[in-house]
A and B are shown apart, each in its own frame.
Chain A
């Protein structure tokens, strides 16, 4: 069975606009096909997608055997939401005033989703996102209402525990209304085997809103994690993303950010650490479409063994987007001869009055520093660990919520 011939029925296929949307997604995917060496946005990581013929979409209803329970050992308070084996757990959620969360199908049924669904990106350019549209059913719509400041992070745990060779498509809509402010944390874990988890977040930030988006990818070694985050920002809004990727077959985090109005700002920071033969891919495309917009990116990775780290960062500055700033830096520690680091910065600047920079470094640990530590009695393994920790700390320092920063750090 191929990814496009699943012979399944999806909820709402009798709703014409929804069926039409899915068909559009399928057509877009069929046109693009699975990424190959020629697919520019995938040229370093397409191989890691690997075998897809044996994958199946799981249509069974969600049955929970207790694994959906809250994480009790989180070192901070949070509103917890669970997506178990690709399906949202529960229908009612314990959330504060001004925050609403619904299963995606309910949001479609209620008419809330239509204005946002598939509105933030061009399907033809993103094959897996197109496929996600073709199968859209699972996921949620989260709305932070006008002026609401959410006091604690909304913690979404995607836990894939019982699935094998499953193709999980999750589609989320996140709407942050004007002057609203929230932190969301996405945490991916579980022992599922051979799955592709294909997640699309469409995020809409209204005027003067703010969203901190933290993500920790910590899935099983055989997982292929493909997440596409499409963010649209209105004036004065702020989007700040921190992505931390541990090793699996493929962990791809793609950000497609449109700074559509003046004063919008976006940040994408990230760390990854690989030891064996996995691939981490952080791909960004930040589009400055209005004057006085700012973007910042700092990504640092550690690559050992036969692993591969990929960073592709595009900064586009539209003709009228004067007085914009776009900065980007990718740095990697390459600790083995067999490892690989690929970095592709791309600047497309059509305005005159801009401040833009990009940079990339790739190197080994500093020998003088290692010697200095060893000369103080610290053994080589500890010395390396301390230096790697220090290396990644610079990016962790970008996290505003220190409890969250500590939690992420503890997993690395």
Chain B
């Protein structure tokens, strides 16, 4: 049996005193691609923030193990260094920080954690150029301040670039497909598929079957009101596309 990468047991969490995640259970093994679909406001992004340890997201019950470690005992940066990556629904702009510098900091932080020597400017640029080219990200964009004035699609490609550079064990993609044109969707999906192998796993949060046609999920979960109400194979997503959430949520 494949190694479990993420094990969530009876998780409950609150944001601003409001309970958003309610008794959630989810196990993701290496090699697996999970899709998480659910209505707006169901708590999907909240889950991604709880997993990455965002301040103000308070876990009130349950446990989470990541690659065998107690995830909740780790700081946000430690979780990232240990191989957890979140492609954010709303990436954050940081005026004054050049994209390539930011990426270099991120890559070297991970190398430091792994006991590897930091990359110098030339080595890093070589690595960056290849990965950026795959995502059709030009040199000008890399010189700009990170996410400042980036279009919706550019921001998403930048998230995937970071994923490609950091090579996580678990990549959570929170609406990585939103705002992408047809060609960009293909580039992003190719980037994700290129990363994916039997040692890592993907959790794909999306509203659209389209992305799942490019990145084939092993398991599809329907998520509503803070927990998973139904799981199945890709056909569940196809069904969902036709019928909408109502029938599933009502059946609960």
Asked if A372 and B162 sit within 8 Å, CB to CB, the answer is no
CB distance from A189 to the nearest CB of B (A): 27
Of A58-66, A90-98, A315-323, A385-393, the one with at least 4 CB within 8 A of chain B: A385-393
Most buried by B among A373, A377, A393, A394: A377
On whether the beta carbons of A375 and B97 are closer than 8 Å, the reply is no
On chain B, the residues within 8 Å of A387 by CB distance are 94, 96-97
A382→B91 CA distance, assembly (Å): 19
Closest to B98 in A: A390
Give Cα A391–Cα B113 distance, bound, in whole angstroms. 27
Q: Give the residue name and chain of the B residue nearest to A381 (CB).
A: B77
A390 adjacent to B113 (CB under 8 Å)? no
A371 touches B96 (CB 8 A): no
Interface flags, B91-113, vs A, CB<8A=1, else 0: 11011110000100110011001
Number of interface residues of A (CB under 8 A): 22
B106 touches A377 (CB 8 A): yes
Please tell me if B81 contacts chain A, counting CB pairs below 8 Å. Answer: yes
- Asked if B230 is at the interface of the complex by the 8 Å CB criterion, the answer is no
- With contacts A380-B77, A382-B105 taken as known, whether A372 is within 8 angstroms of B88 at the C-beta atoms is yes
Give the complex CA separation of A382 and B76 in angstroms: 13
B92, A379: Cβ atoms under 8 Å? no
Assess whether B86 is interfacial by the CB under 8 Å rule.
yes
From known contacts A367-B55, A377-B106, infer whether A386 and B97 are also in contact, taking CB-CB under 8 Å.
Answer: yes
- A132 to B: closest C-beta gap in Å: 38
Considering the chains assembled together, what is the distance between the CA atoms of A390 and B96 in angstroms?
A: 4
A5 is an interface residue with CB less than 8 A from chain B: no
Instruction: Tell whether A38 is near chain B: CB-to-CB under 8 Å.
Output: no
Scoring B76, B88, B166 by chain A CB atoms within 10 A of each residue's CB, the highest score goes to: B76
Q: At the interface, yes or no: A378 with Cβ under 8 Å from chain B?
A: yes
For window 358-411 of chain A, which residues contact chain B by CB distance below 8 Å? 367-369, 371-380, 382-383, 386-387, 389-391, 393-394
Any chain A CB within 8 A of the CB of B80? yes
**Residue contact A368 to B97, C-beta cutoff 8 Å:** no
| Cβ contact within 8 Å between B55 and A377 | no
In whole angstroms, what is the CA distance A155 to B128 when docked? 40
Of residues 52 through 80 on chain B, the ones whose CB sits less than 8 Å from some CB of chain A are 52-55, 75-77, 79-80
Which residues in window 8-42 of B have CB below 8 A to A?
none
| Residue contacts A-B, CB under 8 angstroms, 7 given | A371-B76, A372-B88, A374-B80, A376-B106, A377-B77, A379-B77, A390-B97
